[in-house]
């Protein structure tokens, strides 16, 4: 049967002694700790001569009570004395909770920290982009170092493997655009303009934008996780040791694949979105499927197609650059991989949307609005 730690009080000549009995272990001291915290008397001495084994928790409990009562500790054997001295030496005066400034100061401080971190991060990412450019020029000077198999493999991962999910997403988005647009245009008897709405939105904006967001969540996160794991397992350092440039072997194939595949994926997404709009229009608006597609050719100007194709490689570059940069920044522990992967996706989507807004203003100013 387990023996529990307990105490008793003795008085001799007006001096009060608290006699501790039983083992002072983490598994046996729970009741004693609660009783000592609720103790409302006064003792002059704590007697450990009848105590059993003692561990760090037991020593800390005794020391805490002795400080509260300003009492001496007596009767401890050699092992208990060493442990008590060690725990006492490790005592810290630091607050259990760090001091917090007022809310009116914390909020500007946090915002300032984010702004400064954003500035440093932008500077480092520009440096990383410059490193990619230098590595690309090095490959042009030494074509034998180019790795076509690695690029083709990334074509498959970024492009071919994404056709299913991007196609399904785009088809459903086309249905939503046509359905919601028709619901509003029918109020004015202008549901035929659903074709204009679906075609221009798909080819100019949503096709490439939604594709970029999907590639950021799918391939950008993959780039960050793969390169981050390789940094953590020191594979990147091993490549440098044997004379292989990680930028040429790991980063450039991913960047090339994303830049070259994004225009194709964006156009494919726009086509599937138009097909989705044509399908729902044939079912609910009595607009024949073939008529919808023929009408698209008449109402959508060719420059809308070019706008989408111009934006696509830039979005692909942003997604690949962000994913590879965050992956190459991993260090310390495996938790960093998850944090950097999340950061890569968030930054890529944010930058893609900001650039899309910039392109919208720019093309409007040059007459392609």
| Per-residue pLDDT, 343 | 93
| Per-residue pLDDT, 264 | 95
Domains of the chain (ranges, CATH numbers):
6-89 (3.30.750.24), 147-365 (no CATH)
| Per-residue pLDDT, 348 | 95
Q: Look at residues 64, 70, 81, 77 and name the one whose alpha carbon lies nearest to residue 29.
A: 64
User: In the chain, which residues have pLDDT < 50?
Assistant: none
CA distance 241 to 238: 5
CA distance 327 to 329: 5
- List the structure tokens of 278: 């044509």
Largest CA distance in the chain: 110
- Count of C-beta atoms within a 10 Å radius of residue 310: 16
CA-CA-CA-CA dihedral for 51, 54, 58, 62, to nearest 10? 50
CA distance 363 to 267: 18
pLDDT in tens, 235-245: 999 999 998 99
71 near 46, Cβ under 8 Å? yes
Q: Look at residues 305, 323, 316, 320 and name the one whose alpha carbon lies nearest to residue 207.
A: 305
Q: Look at residues 181, 222, 211, 213 and name the one whose alpha carbon lies nearest to residue 198.
A: 181
Q: Look at residues 215, 213, 210 and name the one whose alpha carbon lies nearest to residue 176.
A: 210
* Cβ within 8 Å of residue 356, ≥6 positions away: 205, 209, 311, 315
Task: State phi, psi for 330 to the nearest 5 degrees.
Answer: -65, 135
| Per-residue pLDDT, 333 | 83
- Kindly calculate the radius of gyration of the chain based on its CA atoms and give it in whole angstroms: 34
pLDDT in tens, 4-47: 888 888 888 778 888 898 888 888 888 888 988 888 888 888 88
| Per-residue pLDDT, 226 | 94
pTM exceeds cut of 0.75? no
Q: Look at residues 271, 266, 272 and name the one whose alpha carbon lies nearest to residue 210.
A: 266
| Per-residue pLDDT, 96 | 66
| Per-residue pLDDT, 6 | 87
| Per-residue pLDDT, 369 | 63
Q: Among positive and negative, which fits the CA dihedral 307, 312, 313, 315?
A: positive
């Amino acid at each position: 049967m387990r023996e529990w730690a307990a105490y008793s009080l003795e008085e001799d000549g007006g001096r009060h002694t608290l006699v501790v009995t039983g083992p002072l272990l983490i598994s046996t001291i729970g009741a004693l700790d609660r009783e000592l915290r609720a103790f409302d008397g006064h003792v002059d001495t704590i007697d450990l001569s009848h105590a059993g084994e003692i561990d760090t928790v037991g020593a800390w409990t005794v020391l805490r009570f002795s400080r509260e009562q300003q009492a001496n500790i007596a009767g401890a054997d050699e092992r208990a004395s060493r442990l008590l001295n060690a725990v006492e030496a490790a005592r810290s005066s630091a607050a259990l909770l760090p001091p917090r400034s007022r809310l009116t100061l914390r909020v500007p401080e946090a915002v300032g920290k984010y702004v400064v971190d954003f500035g440093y991060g932008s500077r480092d990412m520009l440096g990383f982009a410059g490193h990619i450019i230098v590595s690309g020029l090095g490959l042009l000077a030494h074509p034998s170092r180019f790795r076509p198999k690695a690029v083709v493999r990334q074509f498959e991962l970024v492009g071919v493997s994404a056709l299913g999910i991007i196609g399904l997403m785009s088809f459903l988005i086309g249905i939503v655009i046509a359905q919601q647009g028709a619901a509003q245009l029918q109020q004015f008897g202008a549901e035929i303009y659903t074709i204009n709405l679906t075609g221009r939105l798909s080819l100019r904006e949503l096709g490439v934008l939604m594709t970029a967001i999907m590639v950021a969540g799918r391939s950008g996160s993959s780039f960050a996780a793969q390169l981050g794991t390789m940094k953590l397992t020191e594979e990147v350092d091993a490549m440098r040791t044997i004379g292989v440039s990680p930028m040429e072997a790991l980063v450039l194939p991913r960047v090339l694949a994303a830049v070259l595949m994004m225009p194709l994926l964006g156009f494919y997404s726009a086509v599937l979105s138009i097909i989705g709009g044509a399908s729902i229009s044939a079912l609910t608006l009595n607009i024949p499927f073939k008529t919808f597609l023929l009408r698209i050719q008449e109402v959508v100007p060719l420059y809308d197609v070019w706008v989408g194709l111009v934006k696509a490689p830039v979005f692909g570059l942003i997604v690949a650059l962000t994913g590879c940069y965050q992956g190459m920044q991993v260090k310390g522990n495996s938790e960093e991989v998850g944090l950097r992967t999340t950061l890569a996706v968030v930054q890529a989507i944010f930058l893609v949307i900001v650039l899309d807004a910039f392109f919208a203003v720019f093309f409007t100013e040059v007459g392609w609005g």
